[in-house]
Amino acid sequence: MSRTSSTHVGGESDGRVVPTNGPNGSGASHSEGQEGRRSTKENTEQTPSSRTQSRNHESRGLCGVRVAARQGKRTRFTALLHHVTVPQLRDSFSALKRDAAPGVDGVTWRAYETDLDARLVNLHGRVHDGTYRAQPSKRSYIPKADGRQRPLGIAALEDKIVQHAVAVVLQQIYEADFVGFSYGFRPGRGQHKALDALWVGLMRKRVNWVLDADIRGFFDTIDHGWLTRFLEHRIADRRILRLMRKWLRAGVSEDGAWSKTEVGTPQGAVISPLLANIHLHYVFDLWA
């Protein structure tokens, strides 16, 4: 059984991938020592060479998480937040769209770039000491092909930065879990490779029927309780789970009025695609 994708060279797709049993048990915990814990204190006066060494160390730390996830399908990770470092936050800031609309904070990418190092050190401190507060998403709408409007949630800039950094860490775990026929919102994958896999399947295998389905309002109706239970199959770091709850419960601001969110994860939030894939992994992919 293979959980890894082929390289899709010359129209080749994944082979027949059979999903194995998911990590539904509590399993063994993965301690900070096993992950190679590093100090959360950052030196903002690092030289280029020391910064390179720091990045290499962080890359090895994330690699260790990925290896542990592959080796132990029921491993629960108790120490992950320390991988969210100042350099990782800087990389996440650089990965965001420069011209994206601001959230409720009104802060743009260009404005935040001013005195960036000091801002990121401050943000890092708040994330790790528990004083970081998620802000509500600003409601926006885009037209759909059928004339209806799709609701989007525009997160505040600091929420985007932290969500991206956490997603980078969690991807090391869940990319080891996700099945081969899952293509949406994953690194190195997308709709074109999904179409490639479909073409290979139709041309080279005996296919009698094709099911085309859509989940109505999926992002808006994800059950927070079930999503949290799914996360806890792999994540035992309470600080990471607390961040997830903060983002899910931050609420929505529309025309200056705040409303709480009891279900769903905002479309447009950086963390939402990963959370959607985690939810679908347990309720659909493993069943399929």
Q: Average pLDDT for residues 281-286, to the nearest whole number?
A: 94
Residue 84 confidence (pLDDT)? 97
Question: What are the CA-CA distances from residue 265 to residues 9, 51, 52, 175, 282 (Å)?
Answer: 35, 35, 36, 20, 17
pLDDT at 17: 38
Largest CA distance in the chain: 64
Neighbouring CB atoms inside 10 A of 198's CB total 15
Task: Please state the length of the chain.
Answer: 288
Chain CA centroid to CA 11, Å: 29
pTM, rounded to two decimals: 0.78
Asked if the model's pLDDT at residue 25 lies above 50, the reply is no
Is the pLDDT assigned to residue 39 strictly greater than 60? no
pLDDT at 81 over 80: yes
Give the end-to-end CA distance of the chain in Å, rounded to a whole number: 15
Supply the DSSP symbol for 80: -
**In percent, how much of the chain has pLDDT > 90?**
62
pLDDT, mean of residues 158-175: 97
Residue 82, token pair as written in the block: 């320390």
Q: Long-range contact list for 37-42, CB < 8 A, 24+ apart?
A: 37/79, 37/82, 38/82, 38/85, 40/82, 40/85, 40/124, 40/128, 42/85, 42/86, 42/87, 42/121, 42/124
**Angle made by CA atoms 286, 178, 88, in degrees to the nearest 5:** 150
Higher pLDDT residue, 231 or 35?
231
